[in-house]
Amino acid sequence: MRRRTVITGIGCVTPLGTNSDELWNNLVAGKSGVGKTTLFDASNFPTRIAAEVRDWSIADEGEDANVWKDRSRHSCFAAGAAKQAMADSGVLDSVDPTRFGVYLGAGEGQQDFLHFSEMMAAGLKGDEFELKGFVEKGIEVLDPTAELEQEPNMPVGYLAGMFNAQGPNVNCLTACAASSQAVGEATEIIRRGEADVMLSGGAHSMIHPFGVTGFNLLTALSERTGAPEKVSRPFDLNRDGFVLGEGAAIVVLEEYEHARARGAQMYGEILGYGTTADAFRITDTHPEGRGAISCINMALADAGKNKDDIHYINAHGTSTVVNDKVESLAIRKTFGDQADNIPVSSTKSMTGHLIAAAGATELIVCLMAMRHNVVPPTINYETPDPNCDLDYVPNTARDHTCKTVLSNSFGFGGQNITLVATAV
């Protein structure tokens, strides 16, 4: 029999709250974390809004700000969320360091843009880039810290050092599915008996000119110029793209008997994990939901659950025309008529899209929904779309018994991840 995996600690740093209680309270209240972009001058960009983490510092988590001042934004977010999760769990004094690992889905650091700017400056001659000039000057002007900090794997290294986690240490980067995949794979490590405790989740910040330019060129971001809080509108007929967010979400995964022996609190148990690929196009989901359907069914089978056992679905729900349509279709095809009885909401309507950190953030939302028996709303839902025909919990949170929940994460490149969690 495979070992059971429970969640005993949670932590997050998001645009809508810099701890799990603040995040949850704002979600239930239907608040938005979207505002005008302040991290750089976006006045010449088609998209000038973002869901930024504001009024937070790593010093708020008891860390020395001077130590972290040159470290990437996503590393700081990961460290802050991890400190919250570890304090919440209280597991540190009860785990063998060699049986304690870290598995994140973390993206590239914000320093990637700063680093690129330095490279360009080193090779500019007038208005043109000159390779010879870069070769001659680059070694003199490039910042080795910036080069190091833009690497996606830096947060896992920092967390291992902070908590003396000497077990498996892994980072995956599967775009918007990354942190959900990290949780699923970390669960498998515990199930196989290779670790007793895993810190897992994700961190990302792409709110810089490089990141916004890329998503604008892909026509993935909303270009609305009105009230920022109204822009992210998953499943609404008038949606036109997602809002870029940032942050981190970390959970402590623990083998059930290990947690029970120390009398730990348990937010829930990871029962099911599904992972598939659309094998279709790099930026588009399969129009018939092929990969999403098989992923949801895989997670349900892994959990030993059927379509009648799911009480809430936290959708990937990005607010793009194609994603919301296809995800709705996939849920309908998977659950049939039972889909009408399952509340489905997209909390990206309030948090924006945290990219690699999105899935773990939404898993924490699912855990809180089970704890409080409340499902958060999809805000800005005003005009129904005939292609999106589910119960999206429009605009207002709802009291609803949640014992078993499902969370979808679908990434660029066609990666699909579904997690199923249940109350313990």
Count, in order, helices (H) and strands (E) of the chain. 14, 16
Q: Where are the beta strands (DSSP E) in 196-314?
A: 197-205, 246-255, 268-277, 312-314
Cα-Cα-Cα-Cα torsion 395, 401, 403, 408, nearest 10 degrees, comes to: -20
**Can you read off the two tokens belonging to residue 157?**
């290294």
Q: Cα separation of 323 and 30, whole Å?
A: 22
Instruction: State yes or no: is 353 an active-site residue.
Output: yes
Residue 226 half-sphere exposure toward CB, CA atoms < 13 A: 5
Choosing from 115, 208, 311, 316, the catalytic residue is: 316
Q: Give the full edge-to-edge strand order of the sheet including 404-411.
A: 169-171, 100-106, 197-205, 246-255, 5-13, 268-277, 415-422, 404-411, 312-314, 344-345
Are 356 and 178 within 8 A, CB to CB?
yes
Assess whether 176 carries a catalytic annotation: yes
Q: How many residues does the chain have?
A: 424
Place of tokens 């740093």: 13
Q: What is the CA radius of gyration of the chain?
A: 21
Q: What are the start-end ranges of the H helices in 192-244?
A: 209-217
Which candidate in 172, 353, 366, 388 is catalytic?
353
Is the distance from CB of 221 to CB of 241 less than 8 angstroms? yes
Q: Cα dihedral sign for 131, 136, 141, 142? A: positive
Cα–Cα distance measured from residue 322 to residue 316, given in angstroms and rounded to the nearest whole number: 12
Our answer to whether residue 316 is catalytic in this structure is: yes
Q: Which of 76, 176, 295, 402 is catalytic?
A: 176
Active site amino acids = 176, 316, 353
